Amino acid sequence: MTDLREEAAIVIRGVTKNYGSVQALKGVDLTVKRGEIFGLLGPNGAGKTTLIRLLTTLARPSGGELWVGGYRVDRHPVEVRRLIGVVPQVNNLEKELTGRENLLLHALLHRLPRQERRRRIEELLAYVGLEEWADRKVQVYSGGMARRLLIARALLHRPQILFLDEPTIGLDPPTRRRIWDLVQRLNQEGVTVFLTTHYIEEAESLCHRVGVIDGGKIIALGSPRELCARLGSFCVEFFAGEETRRFFFPSRAEARAYADNLPGDVTVRRTNLEDVFVELTGKVMG
């Protein structure tokens, strides 16, 4: 046990969190390995942001233990903060400052050595492609630009583990892909990534493993492929008078055979995470 806590990037054991009488988390257990891209998938209000706030020292759990990078979060918050980078869901840059000034502020807060500061800032501005906008106020940035600057800021102090809370929410498709590329590149450089999302494609195309959270509990855990296989890799979908019904089969042949017996318009397709989610929770995503 102790070994795992020190080796894994993130270990969560029986974590609960209450806000007054509201139970936001009802006992979460989860382990994220080093070098992984882990996605936490769930509808709005499922507890995703709460879990990120607990992991990033911004809130304290009501019960249970969290370990990040080998440190227990509530006992060694400062050490944890040195190891992690956080990209929050809302843009919390100083709007009155320029992009470069925002990065400088972060570098000072994290005490980057003087000679490294300038070089590192230029490096990251280039990394996220914001060199030309670096001296404009953040106020005038588009949503995608602000998100890229947030990522640059989170990476400035070379974190081992990066947390992204809904990294592509509200962005247009090309920008979203650009962010995904950024995340993947980072991961190849050895950074562990923990992200929350309620976009199915994001979890499917980006994450090595996915946890589905609903009502403050993890209800499924595995690679996207595993989760779909558990349900049946192929799906037969048809509209039955009042509602759309879906049935799942382990192989295409079985699905086809079932579909042939149905009247009307029938679709046979691969199962996706959205199906997994709807079957597990009875809720529609997004």
Least distance between other proteins and beta carbon 126 (Å): 22
In the complex, least distance from residue 188 CB atom to other proteins, rounded to whole angstroms: 25
Out of 26, 34, 72, 110, name the contact with other proteins by CB under 8 A.
110
Contact flag: residue 90 with other proteins (CB under 8 A): yes
Please tell me whether residue 72 binds other proteins under the rule CB under 8 A. no
Stretch that binds other proteins, among 8-16, 109-117, 124-132, 203-211 (CB under 8 A): 109-117
The strand order across the sheet containing 234-240 reads 243-249, 234-240, 266-270
Residue in the block written with tokens 């280039």 = 126
Residue 251's identity, in one-letter code, is S
Rounded Cα gap, residues 70 and 2, in angstroms:
9
Instruction: Compute the Cα dihedral for 252, 253, 257, 258 and give only its sign.
Output: negative
Which residue among 78, 114, 174, 264 contacts other proteins (CB under 8 A)?
Answer: 78
DSSP conformation class of 133: G
Residues 152-171 interacting with other proteins (rule: CB under 8 A): 153
The dihedral region occupied by 111, where left means phi > 0, alpha psi between -120 and 50, and beta the remainder, is left
101 touches other proteins (CB under 8 A) = yes
Query: Could you give the 3-state DSSP secondary structure of residue 173?
Result: helix
Minimum distance between the CB of residue 95 and other proteins, rounded to whole angstroms?
A: 7
Q: Is 100 in the site for other proteins (CB under 8 A)?
A: no
Match 């008078």 to its residue by tokens: 241
Q: What is the H or E stretch that residue 40 is in?
A: strand 37-41
Does residue 254 sit in helix, strand or coil?
Answer: helix
Rule CB under 8 A: is residue 95 a binding residue for other proteins? yes
Nearer to other proteins, 106 or 209 (CB): 106
Go through the chain and tell me how many residues it has.
286
Which residue of 4, 63, 75, 111 would you call a contact of other proteins, by CB under 8 A?
A: 111
- Regarding 135 and contact with other proteins (CB under 8 A), the answer is no
Dihedrals φ, ψ of 76, to 5°?
-130, 60
How many binding residues for other proteins (CB under 8 A)?
Answer: 29
Question: Should residue 106 be labelled a site residue for other proteins when binding is judged by CB under 8 A?
Answer: yes
Binding site for other proteins (CB under 8 A): 19, 56-60, 78-79, 81-82, 84, 86, 88, 90-97, 101, 105-106, 108-111, 153
